């Protein structure tokens, strides 16, 4: 399976590195220029390379991190993305109140979804722990990562992908419904309850 990375952040580079180590073919495109990441990509091994925007967009899973100023121009330059799984990434400090705020104010997600209406857009959050917590020995090398996907098949594909990258994927899809038109928080449950999801089947 090919993984396309469009746009550079600490999270997309980490996902690219882990995907290459897991045996995926990773094609990375930085719309602002490949020379900025050339040396970093070399450290990822022979499974990762810099490619064109079209090559990255042709992958089975396309992972995005684009500043709002670049978002519309880059997305309008993509080939037909119908049926593609497009992962919209962002960083988030792990705090229940900021979790709610981060999702409800996810404007770049809304723009992405509106410009790619035929794609299956998945929202991916990279949490940063603000307080130390006890981690079972069997999970000490795994990190929590949160995702939301309205499409069932995309949800399953992303869950499997994240597990292969040695994350502990936490599915918030039952609590937040994104839809291409925006965010529907009617079914929102107290964000303090996100932790028990780790005990649900993934």
Per-residue pLDDT tens digits for 91-147: 554 454 455 555 545 567 778 888 899 999 999 987 554 444 443 444 445 688 888
pLDDT in the model for residue 150: 86
Between 63 and 193, whose confidence is greater?
Answer: 63
pLDDT in the model for residue 35: 82
pLDDT in the model for residue 42: 93
Question: Which residue has tokens 């450290």?
Answer: 43
pLDDT in the model for residue 187: 39
Quick one: which of 31, 28, 33 has its CA closest to 50?
28
State how far the Cα of 144 lies from the Cα of 96, in Å rounded to an integer. 14
Question: Which residue has tokens 């794609």?
Answer: 119
Residue 115, C-beta contacts closer than 8 angstroms, at least 6 positions apart: 71, 72, 75, 76
**150 DSSP 8-state letter:** S
The two three-digit tokens of residue 120, written as one number: 């299956």
Query: Torsions phi, psi of 87, nearest 5?
Result: -100, 115
Q: State the DSSP H helix or E strand holding residue 109, giving kind and residue range, or none if neither.
A: helix 107-115
State the chain's mean pLDDT as an integer.
78
Q: pTM of the prediction?
A: 0.78
**78 DSSP 8-state letter:** S
Rounded alpha-carbon distances, angstroms, from residue 188 to 45, 96, 174, 197: 42, 12, 8, 14
Q: Is the pLDDT score of 198 beyond 50?
A: no
The two three-digit tokens of residue 138, written as one number: 């069997």
Average pLDDT (181-191) is 40
State how far the Cα of 120 lies from the Cα of 118, in Å rounded to an integer. 7
Q: How confident is the model at residue 163 (pLDDT cuts 50, 70, 90)?
A: very high
Question: Exposed/middle/buried for 40, CB within 10 Å: 0-12, 13-18, 19+?
Answer: middle
- Per-residue pLDDT reduced to its tens digit, 31-90: 988 887 899 999 999 999 999 999 999 999 999 998 888 888 999 999 999 999 999 987
Pairing of strands 61-64, 85-94: parallel
Contact yes or no for 122/155 (Cβ under 8 A) = yes
pLDDT in the model for residue 47: 97
Compute how many other C-beta atoms are within 10 angstroms of the C-beta atom of residue 114. Answer: 14
Question: Strand order of the sheet with strand 2-6?
Answer: 48-50, 25-29, 2-6, 61-64, 85-94, 120-129, 143-149, 167-171
pLDDT in the model for residue 133: 41
pLDDT in the model for residue 100: 53
């Amino acid at each position: 399976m090919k993984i396309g990375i469009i746009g550079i952040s600490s999270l997309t580079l980490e996902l690219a590195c882990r995907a290459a180590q897991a045996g995926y073919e990773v094609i990375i495109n930085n719309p602002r220029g490949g020379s900025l990441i050339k040396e970093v990509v070399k450290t990822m091994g022979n499974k990762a390379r810099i490619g064109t925007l079209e090559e990255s967009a042709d992958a089975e899973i396309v992972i995005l991190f684009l500043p709002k100023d670049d978002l519309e121009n880059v997305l309008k330059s993509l080939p037909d993305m119908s049926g593609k799984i497009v992962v919209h990434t962002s960083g988030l400090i792990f705090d229940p109140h900021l979790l709610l705020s981060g999702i409800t104010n996810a404007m770049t997600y809304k723009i992405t979804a509106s410009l790619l209406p035929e794609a299956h857009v998945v929202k991916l959050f990279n949490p940063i722990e603000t307080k130390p917590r006890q981690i079972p020995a069997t999970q000490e090398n795994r990190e929590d990562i949160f995702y939301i996907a309205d499409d069932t098949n995309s949800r399953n594909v992303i869950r499997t992908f994240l597990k292969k990258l040695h994350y502990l994927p936490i599915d918030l899809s039952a609590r937040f419904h994104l839809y291409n038109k925006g965010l529907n928080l009617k079914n929102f449950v107290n964000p303090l309850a996100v932790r028990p999801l780790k005990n649900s089947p993934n």
